[in-house]
Amino acid sequence: MHFHRVPLVAAIGSISLVLFLVACGGPFPQSALHPTSDFGYALDDLFRTIFWLALGVFVVVESLLVYVIVRYRARPGQPPPPRVHGNTLLEAAWTLAPAVILMFVAVPTIQTVFRTDGSAPEGALEIDVIGHQWWWEYRYPEYGIVTANELHVPRGRPVVLKLTSADVIHSFWAPRIGGKRDAIQRRQNRLAFTADSVGVFMGQCAEFCGESHARMGLRVLVQDSSDFAAWVAAQTAPPVPEDSLTELERRGLEEFREIRDPASNSCIACHAVQGISAGVLGPNLTHVASRGTIAAGMLPNDSANLARWLRDPKAIKPGSKMPAIGLSTDEIEALVAYLRRLR
């Protein structure tokens, strides 16, 4: 019986080890262990400080435990140990030791709280961040830009996000950039950081906010100053003039403008396109084709996925506030052609 159990135990151990090693693999695009901003480094420093402190406590406690087990273990023929009640020195030690440990945790924690309180130096880029069910709106007052889901920031320039919500509580979290900040209706929270690495950093709403909470992603695009300036210039440019549209794209524009019954099921009622409409319920679409994704990061921004989204948004994002307005295949094709010109 025992002979047959050894291979089974070995097999289970080997499988467990393999699963453990696989779980430790990568990549992890939303890992907080590889920071790329001053905010992220502050949190990482605090984490590592507490980790090594905790490891030291673990080693000391486990060493004492092993020593006591070995030193005072029961031995054959040994009489029961005497009962000892109270030891003033030991009681004082295990009362003071946790207090000292907590002090070593509290001091760097409080320092980090003040370092990441949302304050930013003069000249920081201010961005208004508004959480919606289930997408993110970004407003750049300095440039007059309104966009969605993809946050563009320049490398090396301090940025301060002013967070609020249009409905329920959301939480903005791009792990490699920094910690979480709640977005609450009729209240403004601030998150400040200076990014030091160019790249695309994934994020997520970190506060349960309804049926499609898990589908409320975000992307932070950190760019060199020249690339950021080019993005700003493109976003502040007027949309494509109507006289340059192809016949199919012009039909798409007419579909966008069409007032349907009920009117709330019309594109123009919810979405803004500069010079065309001023809707505020859905994402601003003035330069929608310049974004890499749609549906809050769920789908690549291409013609096929735009068509899927227009056909049945709730099939992709349950509970979506965007209705399926009953577009025909030809109407969807025309509308997709128009939206793809909005760069």
Question: What CATH number was assigned to the domain covering residues 29-115?
Answer: 1.10.287.90
Question: CA dihedral defined by 155, 157, 160, 166, rounded to 10 degrees?
Answer: -50
Which listed CATH number (2.40.40.20, 1.10.390.10, 2.60.40.420, 3.30.360.10) goes with 242-339? Answer: 2.60.40.420
Residue 177 in this model has a pLDDT that exceeds 90 = yes
> H or E segment at 145?
strand 145-148
CA distance 56 to 264: 62
Of residues 24 and 90, more confidently modeled: 90
Quick one: pLDDT at residue 243? 83
The confidence score (pLDDT) of residue 270 equals 87
Sign, CA dihedral 322-325-328-331, equals: negative
- Taking the CA atoms of the chain, what radius of gyration do you get in angstroms? 28
Q: Which has the closest alpha carbon to 170: 210, 110, 126, 198?
A: 210
Residue 139 confidence (pLDDT): 97
**Residues 144-161: tens digit of each pLDDT:** 999 999 999 999 999 999
Answer whether 125-236 and 242-339 agree in fold. yes
For the domain made up of 125-236, the CATH class stated in words is mainly beta
**What percent of the chain is helix, strand and coil (3-state, nearest 5)?**
45, 20, 40
pLDDT band at 21 (very low <50, low <70, confident <90, very high): low
| Domain definitions of the chain by residue range | 29-115, 125-236, 242-339
Do residues 218 and 203 touch, judged by C-beta distance below 8 A? yes
Angle among Cα 175, 203, 343 to the nearest 5 degrees reads 140
The sign of the dihedral angle between the CA atoms of 332, 217, 149, 224 is: negative
286-328 per-position pLDDT tens digit: 999 999 999 988 899 999 999 999 999 999 999 988 888 888 8
State the Cα–Cα distance between residues 273 and 275, nearest whole angstrom.
Answer: 6
pLDDT in tens, 59-72: 999 999 999 899 88
